[in-house]
Amino acid sequence: MTDLNGLPHINAPLPQQECVQPCRAEEVFRGLLNVAPDAMIVVNEKGEITLANAMAEEMLGYSSEELVGEAMEIVVPERFRNRHREYRSKYGEKPHVRPMASGLNLAARRKDGTEFPVEISLSPMRASGGTLIFCSVRDITERRNAEKQIETSLRIQQAISSLLQISLESISLEEMFKRTLNLLFAIPWLSLEAKGAVFLQEEGTLSLSMKTQIGLPDELLHSCAEVPFGHCLCGAAAESRQIVYSNCVDKRHETQFPGMAPHGHYCIPILSGQRLYGVINLYLKHGHVRRPEDEEFLSSVADILAGTIKRVRTEETLLEHEAQLLAAEEIQQRLLPAEAPALPGFDIAGAVYPAEHAAGDLYDYLPMEDGCLGIMVGDVSGHGFSSALVTASTHAYLHSLSELGIGIDETMARVNSALIRDTKEDLFITAVFARLDPQTRTVTYINAGHPNGYVLDPSGDEKAHLPSGTIPLAILPDVEFPIGGPISLEPGDLLFLLTDGVLEARASEGPMFGTERALKVVRDNRGKAAREIIEILYQAALEYSGREKLDDDVTVVVIKVLE
């Protein structure tokens, strides 16, 4: 009884009965409808509303008296009413149950003319006067808004991942700026015009120099080739080190010319700390409304450019390979958690000790639904630039997917598919992904070809371990990722995750450091803070090897359960 954008309509008081028993039944029936959590509307075979509950009145803005006797199209958006009548007629020929969330994109219309997205179920029922259609209507505005926010977040993460990959390529700054501008122009939700430029500060001056531009009018190429700090919008952004916004050609545009098309600007300073490298100038459509989410994303873009500019300038004094390693290290350091999450009842710490400038190891904390915390520890095969790129991609995919509210098994499956698509064949990643529920104090996990994790009880004995249940990521598609656990955690318990850099530490001769030595160090120091335990373990492996640095990257995460 509904088309792609309509909804079923059912509202109207039933005719009064003289007999007491039917009246009582009707009273009970109406009472049940009025306590239903969804809007309930009943429609007769003619498409007329015969009954509407209290939730329908609240949702649609009509009183029951205003709805009863009206055609159901009264609550269908006007542009869909003719089509809705056709669908209603076809439905009446063969009424059937249509469940909620049946995949249709439906909308309802309130009395004030506003529209909102809905889900609707239809249930026909035989009555003495003919067939009645019971319609249950649910407002899904909040869900749609949440879905849009998640979709926007995912698109931002994908754009950031693409920018990170561009920033790691061995290309000139001018080419990187041009590709960055083109990538930004292709993002529909930014509403940019295909015009913009990147300026860099000239060394030792308070002036910006245009390095790359796309689509700028010829009249600006000379006048804007050099922009002093404090002049025009770009100079104001450089001087203030703040984003400068305009939605039109206002008096701050010091350079104007006859026939200049109306437009606005975002001018974003490129900063590393308080060090200014330059300014990104982007053209906006005239009248564009300023949005905080735009500026947050563009600031992230500027951060990536700042890191890349720093890398390129470092390459001028270092060998190319060393410069790439430094860039990878800088990017990787940006991806590692700045600090452990403050989770009541838990002492959490993690650390990476690279074997080279950039480690192939990673760890991360991911906020999940219902207040849970995801903990990822991974080890990319190899070291250096290529491994750091895989680490950056893995980080971006995990953060995008953790906001979707899906299980850790589906998250791992999607990360695996993305890495197979984007990663060289000779690279793979072992990983353990744990989900800590602080309310129930339980841990579930997936171990993909990674060294065992361990849970020690208050006396230091092994309470549980987290063994591998499948192959590493980025090797085969369509791999299943079985979930282990749940493991119950009690006060005094300690969860211990690590990469094989600790276990494989060895002197020039003799056995490796191994699992038992690692567990003994943790067991003997379990009374100390989580961060101290990690440092003590790393120093113990160094002393065992007799070296200043281990041959492989070391990553350790310790979670202590407090009283």
Q: Indicate if 95 and 149 belong to the same structural domain.
A: no
Give the per-residue pLDDT at 560. 94
Q: Are 10 and 85 spatial neighbours (Cβ–Cβ below 8 Å)?
A: no
Q: Which residue has the higher pLDDT, 358 or 521?
A: 521
pLDDT at 29: 65
- Does one domain contain both 56 and 198? no
- In this prediction, residue 163 has a pLDDT band, given cuts at 50, 70 and 90, of confident
Question: Cβ distance 456 to 463 under 8 Å?
Answer: yes
pLDDT of 1 above 70: no
Given 257, 288, 317, the domain boundary residue is 317
Round to whole Å and give the CA distance between 59 and 78: 18
How many CB atoms lie under 10 A from the CB of residue 494? 22
Please, which residues have CB within 8 angstroms of residue 308's CB and are 6 or more apart in sequence?
167, 173, 176, 327
Does 111 lie in the same domain as 157? Answer: no
Asked if residue 326 belongs to a domain, the reply is no
Q: What pLDDT is stored for residue 563 in this prediction?
A: 77
> How many CA atoms lie within 13 Å of 355's alpha carbon, on the beta-carbon side?
22
Pairing outcome for strands 49-52 and 192-201: unpaired
β-pairing, 484-488 vs 442-448, is antiparallel
Q: What is the mean pLDDT of residues 297-322?
A: 77
Least confident of 89-98, 134-143, 152-161, 298-307: 152-161
Has residue 322 got a pLDDT over 90? no
476-486: pLDDT as tens digits: 888 889 999 89
pLDDT at 178: 93
User: Measured between alpha carbons, how far apart are the two ends of the chain, in Å?
Assistant: 59
| Share above pLDDT 90 across residues of the chain, in percent, rounded to a whole number | 40
**Predicted local distance difference test score (pLDDT) of residue 92:** 83
Q: Which two tokens stand for residue 520?
A: 């003994």
pLDDT at residue 438, as a whole number: 93
- What does the pLDDT average to over 111-135? 88
Q: What is the per-residue pLDDT for 498? A: 93
Token pair for 245: 């916004």
| Domain-located, residue 327 | no
Q: Are residues 222 and 300 in the same domain?
A: yes
Residue 559 or residue 92, greater confidence:
559
DSSP state of 87: H
Residues 400, 521 within the same domain: yes
Query: How much is the average pLDDT of 350-355?
Result: 85
The sheet carrying 49-52 orders its strands as 49-52, 39-43, 130-139, 115-127, 106-109
Beta-strand ranges (E) seen in 145-262 are 192-201, 207-214, 226-228, 244-246
Query: CATH number for the domain including 53?
Result: 3.30.450.20
Q: What confidence score (pLDDT) does residue 10 get?
A: 36
Q: Is the pLDDT of residue 489 over 70?
A: yes
Of 175-189, 321-335, 406-420, 487-501, which gets the smallest average pLDDT?
321-335
Whether residue 57 has pLDDT greater than 60: yes
In the block, residue with structure tokens 């598609």: 477
| Total domains in the fold of the chain | 3
Nearest to 306 by CA among 280, 270, 333, 254: 270
Range of the domain at 455: 336-561
- In-domain check, residue 4: no
Tokens encoding 506: 């060895």
pLDDT at site 75: 92
pLDDT by residue (tens digit) across 71-83?
999 999 998 888 8
> Which H/E stretch holds residue 7?
none
Structural Rg of the chain based on CA atoms:
31
Is there a contact between 283 and 266 (Cβ–Cβ < 8 Å)? no
Q: Tokens 């009446």 label which residue? A: 92
Q: How far is CA 551 from CA 382, 383, 440, 515, in A?
A: 11, 10, 40, 17
DSSP structural state of residue 496: E
Confidence of residue 18 (pLDDT cuts 50, 70, 90): very low
Q: Based on the domain organization, do 393 and 274 belong to the same domain?
A: no
User: What does the pLDDT read at residue 510?
Assistant: 78
CA distance 9 to 136: 9
* Minimum mean pLDDT range among 47-51, 223-227, 393-397, 454-458: 393-397
Token readout for 337 is 């958690």
* Same domain? 469 vs 368: yes
Average pLDDT, the chain: 84
If you average pLDDT over each of 84-88, 293-297, 351-355, 489-493, which comes out highest?
Answer: 489-493
Query: Is 323 inside any structural domain?
Result: no
Rounded Cα distance, 269 and 274, in Å: 10
pLDDT at 26 over 70: no
Query: What value does the mean pLDDT take over residues 295-302?
Result: 89
Classify 426 as helix, strand or coil: coil
Give the pLDDT confidence score for residue 8 in this predicted structure.
36
Give whichever of 37-41, 313-317, 435-439, 507-511 has the largest mean pLDDT.
Answer: 435-439
Is the domain of 474 the same as that of 509?
yes
The answer to whether 208 and 241 are in contact (CB under 8 A) is no
Residue with tokens 């469940």: 99
Q: Are residues 491 and 555 in the same domain?
A: yes
- Whether 387 and 529 map to the same domain: the answer is yes
Judging by beta carbons within 10 Å of its beta carbon (0-12, 13-18, 19+), is residue 511 exposed, middle or buried? exposed
At 327 the pLDDT is 54
pLDDT in tens, 528-545: 999 999 999 999 998 898
Q: Are 259 and 294 in contact, with CB atoms under 8 Å apart?
A: no
What is the reported pLDDT for 270?
94
DSSP class of residue 135 equals E
